[in-house]
Structure 1
């Protein structure tokens, strides 16, 4: 167990180093002069040169990367030149709102997708299964921004049940304190996730239904409810754990499209605004944290799966 964990941590660190190098180089190659981007096209050449020299942008790219890594090791994510604010402060102000929104949408999606997927597997090739699969394929083929716009048109304009704009409250718990204002963002997130989770759950449940332990349980006369809840559910959910682990970055990064469409003040909207402003320190920090969370999510998912499924040998 310990050797497996250490090996995975080492691999994760190497992946993070590779991600940081690629992202750092790509962002710094977008523009020949960061000073020109920050100061604007009207700035004099002397002012741009002074800015680049003062902030180390005139140094070789490798030296800039080493300095950035040293800053990261000291917990310094850099400074937004456009907003004149520390990136860590900007993230602290917005991360909570994105995390609560994304986590709420994820939980709602799982609560719907798990029983729906098992129901489809049990009722395979029936009207219920085919209808749910057809709707899932339709939603899967529909871009999330279009889903959001359709929900606004239907539930905000045609039938004015919910506001078209998300709450602008600075509280991270606005999902619970103002659920009506957050209904459409949550529905959008839930719908886009249910599509993937339910079909994944259906496939896993179908595979488990053909296993011998299910046949034995039924042959012993166990009620169908007991077979599904006690035997099928746990094993059928194991593959879903990996998929959820991959989606852990959404707990911090939020959904870019949902936050943009509903004008929700979170990390996703911060990223899009920084992209328009070419605010490279914010873009770099956001992407690095997203990569770190992806690696962490995969690691945690593997450990949880290994814990849930005793057939997996961690010492390999």
Structure 2
């Protein structure tokens, strides 16, 4: 699938290399993947059906598989086969320890035939995709009719505190700011993408996960350990001044430190859900088919608009 230049936001090869590098030590930094995987599993509990073939797209080291296996046993037997896939071959090998088929593949070029999957899950991976509309279309096409797509991705409010500290430090030391963090989608855009991709009954909502750190250096170490540092094509390749990161840490603490001296880091998580269209699904009634007016339902008086 060809991509236009305006869709090229991330260096996907760099994303893969950073995930490969993070793989050996990911267990010491994967708390956010584990936490959000549990949140996705909890949402799946509301869907009372069995999924013969499911895909965990962007599986990292298998947090989603572990969450499905845990889930207090309620989800046991609901997913017959879970295929784990990640852009990073090293992470795919790590996920293989959970059992089941595992492969390395690019989320932008899915190697699955049309109508072959019953469920597609994705845990904090879609925010690194360049052509997200195209990827969502591929996911919808890979689902069987009435198949479910359930995903979590980082949203625009993620790392707002760090973003502020970076801008202030760079402005102070260099006289201007450059992109130091990757861009993230906002909730309204994410909801619109589900509709554009052809999903039925699309739902999008957001929750903020706040993590407490001793200082900004510990936060940055976690981001590197997760393979989640900036991979934007517009990132500044120049080495910052030696005083840059200490200044970032100082500004972060000055602006956001709690009374105990620790700093918060916000991760806005966007949850997306949609179904592959099927005739059995609920559909909006035809325009003009209502038997009662909105005024009657609200117990008010309908007044004509003055021309």
TM over 0.5: no
Larger radius of gyration: 1
Q: TM-score when scaled to structure 1?
A: 0.27
Larger relative contact order, structure 1 or 2 (CA cutoff 8 Å, min sep 6): 1
Greater strand share, structure number? 2
Q: TM-score when scaled to structure 2?
A: 0.27
Greater helix share, structure number? 1
